[in-house]
Structure 1
Amino acid sequence: MKYFILTLAFLALLSCNSEGNKKITDAEDYNKFLPSVAPKTTSKYFELWNSKIKPDSIQLTSFGIVSGQYENYFKATGDISYLIKSQKALEKAVEIAATGRAGYRRALARNYISQHRFKEALVQANEALKIGSGITDTHGLLFDIHMELGNYTLAKNYLNSITDMSNFGFLIRAAKWNDYKGDLATTINYMEQAKDKAEKTYTKSLILWSYTNLADYYGHAGRLSDSYKYYLKSLELEPENAYAKKGIAWIVFSHEKNPKEALRILDAVTKTYHAPDYYLLKAEIAAYMNNTEMQLLNIDEYIKSVKNPSYGDMYNAYNIDLYLNETQQLDKAFELAKKEVANRPTPESYNFLAYSYLKLGEKEKALSIVRDHLEGKSSEPAILYTLAEIYKKNGLTKKTKELKSELLGAVYELGPSSKSKIESL
């Protein structure tokens, strides 16, 4: 949650427009969604199509259907093995397809995006573009990939090429673009239009996607009652949705300062959903409670989880943050930050590199990166906090104070433990 982008213009407004210490949540609203029921990871339908796949199979339809089912199982469980199985099925489909080749390449590119294999995703998207069918879908995909790679001018060009206010795909990408630009009001406006469009289609996946994203954006804007409402609406639509439960847990923790209840929610989630970052959130909450034993146990669970080589680069950002702020493995953080910059030169990647330099005592190098790659490039609170620390270490008192006043309005985003750190800037 703490890595969400928040517009600078609204940071100060949060302290004025947020809902103070008002209690937002009610356990009676979400308790019915917490009982742990292991998600189904097979079905007669799935077994039927999976049985058609042989080592020398040319059953194209089977590969497409099976890959989609594996992707659904990944979303339901957080188990990376299902995403990899989906990838393998899609790679086989791309290999044997005589028709629908562009669609299979787009699907494989989206799978690679989920794995943070953005350069490989770009190869598939460009191949789909050469094939020519589904140009609008391919341009939307290229927008997504170039945003992840930090190629913002190219991304905007592709966004312009699909402009259509009646198209759900355009609306969600226009929201993403304005979020990047720091225009939260326009972001929410586009996302609300996308939500209305999704509801008219009666397509569950689109409705769910728009509800959870709208809940996130409302949270950025300090509209926590609206955020909570849409997380609940997400759960009414899909009671097992781990992301929505995590969103509610964050409101309970960061806004209501009720860490025990937040942990109760997350403990219910992690019984059946196993994405590693949930353990880091539990560790953060435990640290706020001064429960060192619980904090270390959850950090250990995270470390054990991400040792799985199938995760590849998916958790690089989390690992760098852990090395810098918890385990003090500064050299490992520095090397991984350099790798991230090489893979995707985004403000987030440069932020980690700058902070690594600062932690290593290279404050001038950290400041150089800030000036070359970060100033005016992002309004995300975690990045602004890094900037403030670097400015302070370099004696730039005025710049530090300016950011401090902004950051005090972003405590909800950064988490309750951040308040004392910001005040000490």
Structure 2
Amino acid sequence: MRKNKLQLIMMLLVYTLFLSCNSKSGNEKEIVVYKSDYQKYIQIKENEEIENINKELHFWQEKYNLAPNQYPYLIELSGLYSQLFEMTGNIRNLYQAEELLLDCNARVNGDHSGIHRSIAKNYISQHRFREALTHLEKAYAVGENKKATQKMLFDVNMELGNYEAAEKILDENKNFNDFDYLIRLAKWNDYVGDLDNAIRLMEKAMKIAEKSGNQGLKVWIYSNIADFYGHNGRIRDAYQYYLKTLKADNNNIYALKGIAWIAYSHEHDIEKASEIINYIETQHTVPDLYLLKADMSEFSDNFTKKKLALNEYFYTLDKNYYGDMYNKYNVLLYAETPGKELKALKIAKREIDNRPTPESYDLLAWTYYNMGEFKKAYEIATEYTINKTHEPLVLYHNELILKANNKLTSENSNISDLVTSIFELGPNIEKKLKTL
């Protein structure tokens, strides 16, 4: 026991030294983000792609009005509304696409696999994963293009925590020359904690995308491999690939968010990050933008500004119905707000019903921890989250729960993993880790 305590103390000392060398205080932070690189992408301008989509919507709507018995027109319209949602963040477009797809599905008596897959894709965006799974099972039973259905079944099973089913699908579809297989195998490797191999697979997939000349595939792989590089501590590589994404798609909001996060999390440059976020807000208003603003305000010790940002977040949620899409964020907010813990508890349990993953059970354990029910938090963590995921936020919560129950040892501590995940966790948790 004494040896374990000494090992833990030494580990904490090394970690404290690491944090002090990477603290906000000095100018030692490597500058990665340069305004000259991203400035041209944050100029207020008309988005020609959105204009073209609106023209297409008008075209297909006119065709449908003239021939309302032509259900394929509904599929075209739903696809365009889905594109608008992805570009603008307007949740009403996603619901409009769902309504059209359900109408279309009813007209064909559920006998088209492609329509079931489209509905499933829509439900994935809404975080309605169980319903997505139901439609994918129907698509598979119909039989048309089973390979496409299997790929989506892998995605949904991962979201639902059905890891054995997801692994089985991978095993049945091995093809190291297939882009879709490689990116899913990369996701699996990331899940099991082999990030280096996940990156190698993504790089292999990137070569396929570039060789294909498919612009959509290139944009997707560049932005996603940037995320992987960031999680692996390769911040400069992540930045370069976000820029590469923007070069291929000047209006790519996802890449701009990634650059803003690098400016904030890696450089602690609130001004630079805020400039990008403020631009994104004019183009793509979604609730989580206000959460990022609140996080940055907290880091700057501007709690009045943080409160205003959180008010904007909840106002946006109230103004639009988002269903269960923001359950995770709401639990984390309510769990850490005195007097709101029971609300957090209710949402956490709902999230477990929706998707019983280690990350969902972590929300429940974290809520009990914040309620002071450390033993209950420990019981949940022991059964559902400890050694069940490599998600940094869950590892951080596990560390605090173990400590609160006097169970933290050198063997079960996640300190080394947390050290390498500081960029992903963000500056506020980095500050909290110093007191761990």
Task: State the TM-score, normalizing by the size of structure 2.
Answer: 0.90
C-alpha distance after superposition, 1:347-378 (max 9, x if no partner):
11000000111111211111111111111111
Aligned-partner Cα distance in 1 for 2:375–2:254: 39
Q: In structure 2, do the counterparts of structure 1 residues 38 and 320 end up closer, same or farther at CA, with 3 Å as the change threshold? A: farther
Q: In structure 2, do the counterparts of structure 1 residues 393 and 88 end up closer, same or farther at CA, with 3 Å as the change threshold? A: same
Of the two, which has the highest radius of gyration?
A: 2
1:281 is matched with which residue? 292
Q: In structure 2, do the counterparts of structure 1 residues 352 and 98 end up closer, same or farther at CA, with 3 Å as the change threshold? A: closer
C-alpha distance after superposition, 1:222-279 (max 9, x if no partner):
1111100110011111111111111001111111111111111101110121111111
State whether structure 2 residue 361 is matched by structure 1 residue 331: no
2:259 is matched with which residue? 248
1:65 is matched with which residue? 76
SS in 1 for 2:336: helix
State whether structure 2 residue 366 is matched by structure 1 residue 355: yes
Aligned-partner Cα distance in 1 for 2:195–2:398: 21
Amino acid at match of 1:374: T
1:225 is matched with which residue? 236
Shift of 1:344: 0.8
Structure 1 residue aligned with 2:30, among 22, 25, 33? 22
Shift of 1:78: 0.6
Aligned-partner Cα distance in 2 for 1:132–1:345: 28
1:384 is matched with which residue? 395
Amino acid at match of 2:183: I
Q: In structure 2, do the counterparts of structure 1 residues 217 and 395 end up closer, same or farther at CA, with 3 Å as the change threshold? A: same
Shift of 1:99: 10
| 2:202–2:225 contact (8 Å) kept in structure 1 | yes
| 2:233–2:420 contact (8 Å) kept in structure 1 | no
Structure 1 residue aligned with 2:45, among 12, 16, 37? 37
| 1:388–1:399 contact (8 Å) kept in structure 2 | no
What does residue range 13-412 of structure 1 map to in structure 2 within 5 Å? 21-37=29-45, 39=47, 40=50, 42-54=53-65, 57-97=68-108, 101-308=112-319, 310-326=321-337, 329-398=340-409, 402-412=413-423
Shift of 1:53: 3.0
C-alpha distance after superposition, 1:57-80 (max 9, x if no partner):
222221111111111111111110
Q: Name structure 1 gaps, 5 residues minimum.
A: 1-11
C-alpha distance after superposition, 1:144-203 (max 9, x if no partner):
111111110011111222221111111111111111111001110111111111122222
C-alpha distance after superposition, 1:20-42 (max 9, x if no partner):
72211111000000012354355
Q: In structure 2, do the counterparts of structure 1 residues 257 and 80 end up closer, same or farther at CA, with 3 Å as the change threshold? A: same
| 2:287–2:317 contact (8 Å) kept in structure 1 | yes
SS in 2 for 1:402: coil
| 2:336–2:370 contact (8 Å) kept in structure 1 | no
Task: State the TM-score, normalizing by the size of structure 1.
Answer: 0.92
Aligned-partner Cα distance in 2 for 1:216–1:376: 23
| 1:408–1:422 contact (8 Å) kept in structure 2 | no
C-alpha distance after superposition, 1:281-329 (max 9, x if no partner):
1110011111222211111111011124531000100111111235651
Q: Name structure 2 gaps, 5 residues minimum.
A: 1-14, 23-27
- Larger relative CO (CA 8 A, sep 6+): 1 or 2? 1
Q: Say which is worse superposed, 242-251 or 395-404, in terms of deviation.
A: 395-404
Q: Pairwise CA RMSD of aligned residues?
A: 2.1
1:4 is matched with which residue? none
SS in 1 for 2:417: helix
Shift of 1:96: 2.1
Amino acid at match of 1:313: D
